[in-house]
Structures are given as structure tokens and as C-alpha cells.
Structure 1
């Protein structure tokens, strides 16, 4: 097996383990906070939000720092740092005795995380140019699968082991990711003796600044749009379904439908982007998502919503891999770690802002209004991508094809 393919396999497994470990915490945080002595329902909700959001918020600001070190010392050391560090911290959460200790450990977790972003950088710099779309699309399914199955695994294990032991299981999963990376990921990287380029020097080295910035903005808007809906899906399902006794299960199916379709579609759409250009795939995906969010405001039952979410998942399965492919094609490999980390920052900030603003819009104007605002946000993104990304990338792609024939 070629080195980059073996690395892709291990990074997929590592991304799955990391994402499943992180997402397992979502349904059990309120239970753990209650076990730590917080009994008031509103207080549990507040502390759960702080505990969950603090990790993502901190990740947004530390991602560029780890990306900088990845460019200087290599991507594999960053994967080892993230997996081992998170294994220790997540396992330590099981020893927390107060909600303040829990928050502190969640903040530390956000500080040292970064396995998935490191994997993206490693595969993007190693995969052949004509296989980059497929490789990054396949890699994304590892993280999506982990995010999808994590809550299901966590909810099941809580029934068997109890809340505290779940964090030990998560730590063990991350430790497996560490050893897989240590023994099976190979990277030919020579540490630079020179001082790393400053941000201004990096900015000047970019040939097409507006295209790169356009990708960062697209990442932010896409994540903000998607995660403005996620926190209120369960509430929306409760207004649609007559099966209130199985609300959690039905909501889980609605959540899972978009993730499942993304897993199925991402490798195929990645391969398509290698043939027709990632700029075309992402533009069509954005247009489809813009359209598909509107009918979700008019559904009459949970099954209609599930079907539309399945279709949205196909569109979203094309977005982030296409963005990463476009970035790979337009940045020097020497600064790839930092550029992908900047994109990760945009992604984390989008998740954070989407969760906050989505809940506010739903509370003040109604959940159905949220689908229209999300669609409008994506439509603005379509116009920006067409103007600053599609037109330029289309010319470059056509030029490259003409010279290869």
C-alpha cells in the first residue's frame, strides 16, 4: 500500500476515534453536571452550555498556534501531541469533583486538541493532486462517522458503566488513536532550521488572497448556517411528531440522517471534484443547500424533515472537502499547517456563533424563521463564492486541463 494511502487509513481511524470520543460527551454532560451537585434544571442547562461551548471556543484560538508548530516540526508530532494529551485530559474528567474542575478540564481539552485538523494537513500535503478531492472527502467521513455514532455509543455505555466511566472509555479511544499514529503513520518531514514566516510574510506569499479568504469565509458561514439549526432540531421535532414517547429516538434519527448521507456522498463527491473541479462541486452544493433549507420550514411531520435533512447531508458532504481541496491547490506546502489551521479557526467560530445566534433567532422569531435566515445566509455565500472563487478557479482549472491534454 502506498504511504499516503496507509496514512489516510490511520488518520481516518484516528479521526473517527477522536470525533466519537468528543461527541459522546454531548448527551451525558447534563447528567454529569447533576452528579457534580448542580440540581436546578436551569443551572444545569447553563453549565452544560458553558462546558460544551468552552472547548470549541478555545480550539478556535489555539488552532493557528498548533498549525504553526506543524509547519516547523511536522504534522505527525502534532497528531501524537493531540491524541495523547486529549487522552490524559479526557480521562481526568472522570476524577472531577466540581463543575469548575469540569469546565477547567474542558478548556484544557480545547487548548491541546487538533487531531482532525492535523490529519487534514497531513493528507492534503501527501495525496497526489489528482486524488486530493477523493482523499480529503474520504478523510472527512471518519470525523462525520465519529460525530454521528459518538452520542449513540455514549448513551448506550452510560446505561452499562455509569457517567464517570464514560470519560475513561473516551480516554482509551484517544489512546488507541495515539498508538495507531505512532506506529503506522509515516511522514518524511525535515524540520526547518529557519525561523517561521510571520503572518504578514505568509499573506504576501499567497498568489490569490481573495480566493483564500473566500474559502475561510465560506467555512465560517457554512458551519454557522448548519449549527444554527442543530441545537433546536429536537424542539422542532417535538412540534411535528405525535410520538412524544420516543422523541429522543426520533430526534436522533433526524440528526443521523444528514450525517449518514454525508458519509455516503463525501468520497464520491470528492472523486467528482478531482475530475470537474472542486470549485464547481462546492458552488452546486451551496446552491442545493440554499434551496433545501426552505422547505424544511413547511414540513408537516418528522419523516418529511428527515428526508430533507438526508438531502442536505449530501450537499454538506461536498462542502468542507471541496474547501480543503481548493486550499491545497492554492497554498505552498511550507505553510499548509497554518493555512489549514486558520480554516479550522473559521470552522470552530462558525460552530460557536451558529449555536448562539440560532438559539436566539428561534427564541425571538420562531424555529421556522431560522430555516429562512439560514437559507438567506447560504445564498449570500453562493454569490460570494461565484464571484471570488468560482470564476477564478474555473479559469485555472480549464488552463490546467488544456495543458494536460
Structure 2
């Protein structure tokens, strides 16, 4: 029975990850319209500035506070942090439906980033309860749930905005987050010895980071996470304009723009568990390096396509390789991190993810004026190739160093 508990945890948390990501992404399609219609903003530039600030606010505070929650998870347990985050986000998201001014939304999004952390807590809990020979499969499966939510969230958000209006979506989203948290509370089990954890001296966040960085693989893996997200998101803000350039202003432009945005997530969702299972057989490092190189290859042709159909093909293939990136990084972090610092290491990785989410679109938007979106595709591809080459050398050097050290002692 205990041997199968990890499967129950994985199933529940995959579903919870889906509901959390779907709820968080529901606001994406209508945020600008919400500011126009419900808050009375009329200037396009003002709407754009507020929408950008409100969307980014969550990532800024999440980047800052994730390491603190990781430290507390190592002290009090991962499930406690999972529930803290889930129920907290449920309340804050529902309150967004009562906002009267743009700064209300901004403040609530910042507060949401402060309490956020369901996904890293779920990753940490799954990694701690899953047999080590199934970690790759578990990480891929967990990501597929979140990816599915990220894909379907904007779709459902757009449908609901047309049928029930904007404000009720926040109440619905809050209810989904509450449901995910309640299911996790009832069904997820964690063997965590609080008394033993309390006896261990807990270092501060900065000191804890220094202790983790002593582990040779950790700085490499945290940097890889940042570079992956940075590369993936650099071209994203201009993707609808690129679709318009390829397709023209003909009918179904919005449909094709949405399809291009979601097809990568669809293939990612399908391939993540498959590549995770394969990494359990041949090694996470190999899958990570193959996926980095493959993603780089699939980015570059996107700069030279002549139709939306060709773009869809390469975006689909890109998603296949993306399915082997973050899950294998998570598996490698679990492999190299001491048991009493697992949550903290995943929280720092979550901060690296948030940093890439913040800087990728900003830098991509700035570079687009110089090199165009076609240049951004080439830029992202080259950056992923460089990351692959650097990771190959860095991980090999650290593995060799670890072997030499073991022989010495």
C-alpha cells in the first residue's frame, strides 16, 4: 500500500497543478479588455502599461519570496506549504473580482506572488515520495498537468468572458484553486518528521543559497532553468504579430494566433511523461542535453517559414523537445540535493524560472526593434545551443570532479 502511495500523490497533484495553472491563466485573454470596460481606461498606452505591470507583478514577488517558502517547507513539511499556497491564492484571486481601481489589481497580483508556490511545493513533495528510479516519469507527468492547464486556461477564460463577463471569472478561478487545495488536503500524504526537522539548525535564505551552491551541479541547473525560460519567452509577446504577417488580415486570424500559442503546449504535455520515463532508463542528463539541442534546432526554422502551417509544424516539434527540459532539471536537482534541503533547492529553481519569465519578454521586446521577430527566433535557438554546449561541459566537469573526490577519500 505504501509503495503505491506515490502514485496517488502524483495523480492528485497533477490534477491540482492543472487546476492551479488553468485558474492562473484564465485572466490572460481578457486582462486588457477588463481594464478598458470595467475600469474605464481609454488610452491604449495606459491600458498597455497597466496590463504589463499587473501581469508581471505576480512573477516579481514570486521570485523574491519562493526561497523563503522553500526554507519553511524543509522545516514544517511540503504539504503544509502546498495548502498555504493553494488556499491563499484562492482567496486573493476571488478578491480580484471586487477590485475597483487598476492599482487594486496590481496590489493583489503582487500579494498573489507572495503566497504563490503550489507548483514548486508539489514538485518537492512528489520528488520526496517517488522512488528514485521513477523520478523522471513523475516530473514529466506533473509538468503535463500544469502544461494542460496553461493551454486550456486562456481558452476557458475567453469563453467565460463572453458568456458571464469578466468579474465572475475571478470567482470561478478562486473556486478552482480552492478545489485543488481541498483535494490535496484530503488525499495527499507525506511522511515528514517535524520533530527531526525541528532539531536541525535552519540557516537563513542567503546562507541556505550559499550552502546549496557548494553542491557543484546546483548552480549549473539553476542557470539552465533561467536560460530555458528566457529563450522560450523572448519571442512570445510578438507571436500574434508574426502570425498576422504570415496569414494576413484574413478571417480566422485570432484562431490561428491562439492555435500557434497553444500547439507547443499540446506537444509538451504529450511528450513530457514519455521523455521523463525515458530519462529513468538512459539518464536525465542525456535527455536534458538532447532536448536543449533539439529545441535549438526547432527554433531557427521558425524565422524562415512562409506560412502559418509551417510555423505550426515547427512549434509543435519545439514542444516535443520542451517536454524534456524542466522535468529533467527537476529530476537532476532532486538527485544532487540532500533530503533536508530539497524544498529549498526547488524554491530557488522556481525563482530562476520566474526570473526567466520576467526578463525573457522584456529583452525580447527590446531586441525586436533591432533584429525583428525573425531575429528573435534565431537568437533563442542560438542561446539554447550555447546552453547545451555549456551544460555538456559543466555537468561533465562536475561529474568528473565528484568521481575524483570519491576516489580521493
TM-score (norm 2): 0.94
User: Corresponding residue for 1:11?
Assistant: 13
Which of the numbers 335, 342, 350 marks the counterpart of 1:329? 335
State how far apart, in whole Å, the 1-side matches of 2:175 and 2:270 are.
28
Cα shift readout 1:11-30 (whole Å, capped 9, x = no counterpart): 11111111001111111111
Question: Is 1:60 the counterpart of 2:63 in the alignment?
Answer: yes
Cα shift readout 1:48-88 (whole Å, capped 9, x = no counterpart): 00000111111111100111110000000111111111110
Task: Label 1:68 to 1:89 Cα distance change in 2 as closer, same or farther (>3 A).
Answer: same
Which of the numbers 185, 198, 206 marks the counterpart of 1:193? 198
User: Corresponding residue for 1:133?
Assistant: 136
Cα shift readout 1:71-112 (whole Å, capped 9, x = no counterpart): 000000111111111110000000000001111111111111
Question: Is 1:157 the counterpart of 2:163 in the alignment?
Answer: no
Structure 1: gaps (5+ residues): 398-405
State how far apart, in whole Å, the 2-side matches of 1:299 and 1:207 are.
42
User: Corresponding residue for 1:351?
Assistant: 357
State how far apart, in whole Å, the 2-side matches of 1:50 and 1:246 are.
29
State how far apart, in whole Å, the 2-side matches of 1:383 and 1:211 are.
15
Q: How far did 1:276 drift?
A: 0.4
Q: How far did 1:333 drift?
A: 1.2
Q: How far did 1:284 drift?
A: 0.6
State how far apart, in whole Å, the 1-side matches of 2:150 and 2:131 are.
28
Q: How far did 1:242 drift?
A: 3.4
- Residues 309-320 of structure 1: pairs in structure 2 closer than 5 A: 309-320=315-326
Aligned residue for 1:294, secondary structure, equals helix
- 238-247 or 90-99, which deviates more: 238-247
- 37-46 or 343-352, which deviates more: 37-46
State how far apart, in whole Å, the 1-side matches of 2:324 and 2:401 are.
21
Aligned residue for 1:318, secondary structure, equals coil
Question: Is 1:97 the counterpart of 2:100 in the alignment?
Answer: yes
- 272-281 or 37-46, which deviates more: 37-46
Question: Is 1:227 the counterpart of 2:233 in the alignment?
Answer: yes
Q: How far did 1:190 drift?
A: 1.6
State how far apart, in whole Å, the 1-side matches of 2:264 and 2:392 are.
25
User: Corresponding residue for 2:215?
Assistant: 209
Task: Label 1:393 to 1:257 Cα distance change in 2 as closer, same or farther (>3 A).
Answer: farther
- Residues 175-194 of structure 1: pairs in structure 2 closer than 5 A: 175-191=178-194, 192-194=197-199
Cα shift readout 1:211-262 (whole Å, capped 9, x = no counterpart): 2111000000000000112111111101000353322110111111110001
Q: How far did 1:394 drift?
A: 8.7
- Alpha carbons 1:63, 1:345 under 8 Å: kept: yes
| Residue correspondences, number | 397
- Alpha carbons 1:12, 1:139 under 8 Å: kept: yes
Q: How far did 1:209 drift?
A: 2.9
TM-score (norm 1): 0.95
- 370-379 or 119-128, which deviates more: 370-379
State how far apart, in whole Å, the 2-side matches of 1:107 and 1:378 are.
31
User: Corresponding residue for 1:402?
Assistant: none
Task: Label 1:396 to 1:96 Cα distance change in 2 as closer, same or farther (>3 A).
Answer: same
User: Corresponding residue for 1:403?
Assistant: none
User: Corresponding residue for 1:401?
Assistant: none
Which of the numbers 289, 304, 324 marks the counterpart of 1:298? 304
User: Corresponding residue for 1:31?
Assistant: 33
Structure 2: gaps (5+ residues): 404-409
Aligned residue for 2:216, secondary structure, equals helix
Cα-Cα RMSD: 1.7
